[in-house]
Amino acid sequence: MNKETPRQPLPPFTAETAREKVRLAEDGWNGRNPAKVALAYTIDSLWRNRAEFPKGRIEIENFLKRKWAKELDYRLIKELWAHDENRIAVRYAYEYHDDSGNWFRAYGNENWEFDENGYMAYRYASINEHPISEEDRKFRWPLGRRPDDHPGLSDLDL
C-alpha cells in the first residue's frame, strides 16, 4: 500500500476525472522534468515502452532523461480513449526533432493502472513514429504546457 500523499484525481475515475488525469499527465510530460514526472508513478511502477521495461522511479527518471536528451523540442498531446475504475486508456501523438534537425511525429496508445492514491503503477505503451517535414508540424505552441485553446488530437485529425 502506498503511504504517499494522494495524487488527485483518485480512482475510481469518472469521465471527467479521467480526462483531468490525462491532461495532468500531458502537462507533466510537456514540462520535460524527469524527476518531477517520475513522482507521478509508484515507487515500483512497471513500464513497457517500446523495447524498454523501466521498473521504479529511478529507472523511469533515467529513461526520461535519455528520451528528452535525444527528442528535442518535444511537444505532446494526450487524449482519453476509455476509462474504468482504476484504469485509463489514452491515445497520443508527439513531435520532436533530433540533433540533426530531422523532425518526427510519434503516435501511440497507453494503458494505465493506478493505485488507490492516484499513482500510476503500470504503464504499457505502444508507439510508432515517422519522419515529418518542419512544414508538416502541427504542435507549434511555445515549449511547456499546451495552451487550452490549442486543438487536441481529434481536432487535428490525428
Strands (E), 17-86: 41-49, 72-83
54-105 pLDDT tens trace = 999 999 999 999 999 999 999 999 999 999 999 999 999 999 999 999 999 9
Three-state DSSP class for 52? Answer: strand
- pTM exceeds cut of 0.85: yes
Third-level CATH fold of 15-136? Nuclear Transport Factor 2; Chain: A, (3.10.450)
Question: Tell me, what amino acid is at 123?
Answer: R
> Can you name the residues that pair with 124 across neighbouring β-strands?
48, 111
Using pLDDT thresholds of 50, 70 and 90, give the confidence band for residue 2: low
Compute the distance between CA of residue 40 and CA of residue 96 in angstroms, rounded to an integer: 23
Residue 92 has a pLDDT of 98
Tell me which residue has cell 524527476: 35
Per residue in 6-23, pLDDT tens?
Answer: 999 999 999 999 999 999
Please determine, for residue 25, whether its predicted confidence score (pLDDT) is greater than 70.
yes
What is the pLDDT at residue 4?
A: 87
Domain range summary for the chain, segments of one domain joined by +: 15-136
Number of C-beta neighbours around residue 3 at 10 A:
5
pLDDT of amino acid 33: 98
Q: What pLDDT, on a 0 to 100 scale, did the predictor assign at position 3?
A: 76
